[in-house]
Structure 1
Amino acid sequence: MAKKENGFFDFIAPIYGLLFNYQVQYYEKILHRVKNEIDLTKYDNIIDVGCGTGALCYILSKTGLKVTGVDAVQRMINIAEKKLQNKTVDLVRTNVLKKTPFEDKSFDLAISSYVVHGLKKHERKKIYAEMSRITRRMVIYHDYNQNRALHINIAEWLEGGDYFNFIQNAQKEMAESFKKVRVINVDSRAAWYICTPY
């Protein structure tokens, strides 16, 4: 992620902090919806890539998984540390677009929520490769599906990411980087792209 984008997320980190409880409720609802598709309790550990203020880490820690959250933005990590102070979650500041400090196949599962749509295609390829490298079993991208909404279109256009290309090509792009890709729609405008690493 470019320095400019890190600055943007550094600036809006406190806003994400205010949305923490809403995000926790949202992720709790999503995990409930997918529990028949994916039994997270069968696994030992998970990494949340682009964990932001830690809402998904919070919910994942309730499943019994050992959770590691990573984010490139220090201010996000700082807020996550406060929000997760009573949870056993390891938080690491690292940029997943570069090689992370984790050994190959360190985690059973990796998840990234609403990160890849904001990256350019060449950056998405990097994140796909790095998450595949550090994951043994399954990489999950929780992100937009093809069901668009005007308010999301406007917000994503203002953010300047690659949302419009992503939603048209997500599964195809991921299939170039993973053995298998399965898509489960988890909400009206969101899907889990479930990828099997090589």
Structure 2
Amino acid sequence: MEELEKHARIFNLIAPFYNRFFRSQVRSYRSILDKYEELLNIPPGGRVLDIGCGTGAFISCFAERGYQTVGVDFSASMLKAARKSTRGKAIEFVQGDATQGLDLPDKSFDLVLSSYVLHGLSSALRQRIYEEAGRLSRGRVLFYDYNQKRRWFTDFVEWAEGGDYFGFVRQGEREMRVYFHDVKRVDVGPQTALYICSQ
């Protein structure tokens, strides 16, 4: 699929640069979990899946808290960086494309999450992510991404990346409500939100 091939090329190229932000990302994600983990309703030792895990920063924070963790990404270079950055942590990394379906059983995770993935995809591919996340989760689904507040610098960067940032900002939350019974948006930064979805 042309759109996904383009994304794979971009992320394979930028993985080494992107990984330089690993430590700052981990600090940010830890802070978010400190404040909002109880809203995710994960049982002790529960299973957590990160779709589009990138360099593994977010999923590593769940591994630190004793959860069984799996990270999935279609970029081989991102996964290579993730394995390097999270060495010593009990995280299983798998190469796969959630928009095409993952070779994982239905309802096999207590939390399925995806961080800063949706805004880079077309609406059609986002809807495949919603569907696949819902299939795999027996509990909550968490999307961490932009909210509707915009800044000119972010607008420029996301425009240059060539994703569907503007479409996601306008209609992403409405799209989620088609696939999930309940969607709770928690704004956690000037432009960012947790979208906590329940079946």
* TM-score of the aligned structures, taking structure 2 as reference length: 0.95
Aligned residue among 125, 134, 152 for 2:136? 134
Cα displacement string for residues 77-100 of structure 1 (whole angstroms, at most 9, x for unaligned residues):
011111111100000000011110
Structure 1 distance, partners of 2:66, 2:43, is 7
Preserved contact between residue 112 and residue 133 of structure 2 (Cα < 8 Å):
yes
User: Which residue number corresponds to residue 123 of structure 1?
Assistant: 125
Aligned residue among 6, 19, 22 for 1:20? 22
Cα displacement string for residues 40-73 of structure 1 (whole angstroms, at most 9, x for unaligned residues):
4546110011000101111111111101000000
Preserved contact between residue 43 and residue 109 of structure 1 (Cα < 8 Å):
no
Preserved contact between residue 50 and residue 70 of structure 1 (Cα < 8 Å):
yes
5+ long unaligned stretches in structure 1? none
Shift in Å, 1:30: 1.2
Preserved contact between residue 174 and residue 181 of structure 1 (Cα < 8 Å):
yes
User: Which residue number corresponds to residue 13 of structure 2?
Assistant: 11
User: Which residue number corresponds to residue 156 of structure 1?
Assistant: 158
User: Which residue number corresponds to residue 86 of structure 2?
Assistant: 84
Preserved contact between residue 40 and residue 63 of structure 1 (Cα < 8 Å):
no
Q: What's the secondary structure of 2:169's corresponding residue?
A: helix
5+ long unaligned stretches in structure 2? none
User: Which residue number corresponds to residue 110 of structure 1?
Assistant: 112
Structure 2 distance, partners of 1:88, 1:188, is 33
State how 1:173-188 maps to structure 2 within 5 Å. 173-188=175-190
Task: Give the number of the structure whose residues are more often helix, by fraction.
Answer: 2
* TM-score of the aligned structures, taking structure 1 as reference length: 0.95
Structure 2 distance, partners of 1:41, 1:27, is 19
Count of residues in Structure 1 that have an aligned counterpart in Structure 2: 197
2:110 counterpart letter in structure 1:
D
Q: What's the secondary structure of 1:67's corresponding residue?
A: strand
Aligned residue among 189, 192, 195 for 1:193? 195
Preserved contact between residue 41 and residue 63 of structure 1 (Cα < 8 Å):
no
Structure 1 distance, partners of 2:47, 2:124, is 28
- Identity between Structure 1 and Structure 2 (%): 36
2:4 counterpart letter in structure 1:
A
